[in-house]
Amino acid sequence: MKYKGIFKASLGIASLSLMALVGQGVIGAADYGGWSEETGYYTSVKAFNASHQAVGSHTPKALLGVPRHTGRKEQSNLLLRAHGWTTWVGVRHYTRARMTSYLSENNVYTDSGRVWGVGGTEAISPWYNTLHPENGAMARTYYGR
C-alpha cells in the first residue's frame, strides 16, 4: 500500500513536469497554424494532436484552450511587414511574423522571431523594403506552443 501512494505521487510529479516542459516550449515547439497572404488561414492538425498527446490523453482538451489567430500584411509607402496576434487562454504559446519569398517559405527576408507569452501574444516583423533586388515578398504569420 505504501508503494502505491509513492508511485501515484511520482507519476503526478512526472506528468506536471512534462506539462511544464511542453508549455515552456522546451519539448517540440511546433507551428500549429497561421496565415499567409497567398492562401489565408491554415491549421496543422498533426502538430495540434501531437501536443495534446504529449500533455496526456487524460487532460481535458477544454483545459488547453482554443487558439485564435489573426494575421495581416501592413504597408507604409514602399515598406511591408507581417503582423500577427494569437489569443490562447491559459496556454503558453508563441506568435511569429515573417516576410518571405513568394517562391519559398524557407527564404526569409525579415522575421520577428517567436514572441512567447500566456493568454495573448503579438508579433511584428521588421519592415521589408520592396525596392530590394529579391522582389516579391509575402507576409506570413504563425502560432504554436
pLDDT per residue, tens digit, the chain (145 aa), is 555 554 444 444 443 333 443 443 334 468 899 999 999 998 886 655 555 554 444 445 545 678 999 999 999 999 999 999 999 999 999 999 999 998 888 899 999 999 999 999 999 999 999 888 776 899 999 999 9
Q: Answer whether 64's CB lies under 8 Å from 49's CB.
A: no
Main-chain phi, psi angles of 104, to 5 degrees: -145, 125
Cα–Cα distance measured from residue 28 to residue 84, given in angstroms and rounded to the nearest whole number: 21
pLDDT tens digits, 104-139? 888 999 999 999 999 999 999 999 998 887 768 999
What does pTM read for this prediction?
0.69
Closest CA to 119 of 92, 85, 83: 92
Side chain identity at residue 36, one-letter code: S
Query: Residue 133: its pLDDT value, please?
Result: 74
**Structural domain for 124, as ranges:** 2-144
Structural domain count of the chain: 1
- C-alpha grid cell for residue 86? 494569437
Is residue 69 exposed (0-12), middle (13-18) or buried (19+ Cβ within 10 Å)?
buried
